[in-house]
Amino acid sequence: MKNLKPLLMQYLFTLALLIITLNTADAQTTETAIPATSGTSVIWGKVDGVTIEGLVQGPSGANTDLQVACVFEYTEGDIFNSPPALPANLNGMVHLDEALNGIITELRKTGKFKGHAFETLLITPPVGMLPSKKLLLIGLGDRNKFGPDMMITIGSVAMSEALRLGVTNYAFASDLKDAGIDSPTALVAQNVVLGSFEAYRTQQLLKDKKLSDYKPLAKISLLAGPTFYMEAGKGIKEAIVELNK
């Protein structure tokens, strides 16, 4: 009996660990399986004093000084044909276009905004048309040549324009899923953050040498749909860790 007691204790200890592990896995699975609702937000962290927020919201609904949205070069019906584009009720770019009375589609279709890679266009809508004060479109180029690495430069362009405009906060929407691109969500979000702070730190360096006079940024909100919100957060957190080393 004396020899059995240590074996029994070891068995009970192992069983307890297994139960805890299974309960934790079930909780994590449940959390992942439940999509976030519109308006859900979390502060993922800070870099250089700038708060980085994850927000479940479309670009037509974020209340911010500047809304950034990305579009590819125009192809007929690209954001409306579902699939591959997201359904209209889930498609942030469709909602944004509708809120602006179709001007984004008109600009793209007529070639007024071609959507070439890193091309920009600033729109200042009338008060009340959008919650955001200004809208910045950034081109993603040819959809068939898209790669997640380009989002580093896209993030840098967004930050540079935000600082040039003197805003204290802005929201960023890549709108890749809206356009039907099956992109790696976490990596895209990570690259946007990395590129943003490449540009921010360049301006910090110039300011230290009295060659720039930008207004410090308070917050960046990275927008994502309810299905992709937590996955985007993984990439954002990785970028924050890397930038804060």
Q: Read off the pLDDT band of 28 (50, 70, 90).
A: very low
The percent of residues above 90 in pLDDT, for the chain, comes to: 78
Residues facing 56 on adjacent strands: 224
Residue-wise pLDDT for 74-119, tens only, equals 999 899 988 889 989 889 999 999 999 999 999 999 999 999 999 9
211 HSE (CA, 13 A, CB side): 6
pLDDT of 3: 53
Going 211 to 213 to 216 to 220, the CA torsion angle's sign is negative
pLDDT of 160: 98
Q: Is it the case that residue 8 has pLDDT exceeding 60?
A: no
The percent of residues above 70 in pLDDT, for the chain, comes to: 86
Q: Sheet containing 120-123: which strands, arranged edge to edge?
A: 41-47, 50-56, 219-224, 169-173, 66-71, 134-139, 120-123
Domains of the chain: 39-243 (3.40.220.10)
Contact in structure between 44 and 53 (CB atoms under 8 Å): yes
Which residues have C-beta within 8 Å of that of residue 65, sequence separation ≥ 6? 132, 133, 134, 165, 167, 168, 169, 170
Tell me the residue length of the chain: 245
pLDDT of 83: 84
For residue 49, which amino acid is it? G
Contact in structure between 142 and 55 (CB atoms under 8 Å): no
Q: CA 234, CA 221: separation in Å to the nearest integer? A: 15
- Mean pLDDT computed over every residue of the chain: 88
Q: CA 212, CA 166: separation in Å to the nearest integer? A: 12
Rounded average pLDDT over 164-192: 96
Q: Which stretches does DSSP call E strand in 82-165?
A: 120-123, 134-139
pLDDT of 25: 40
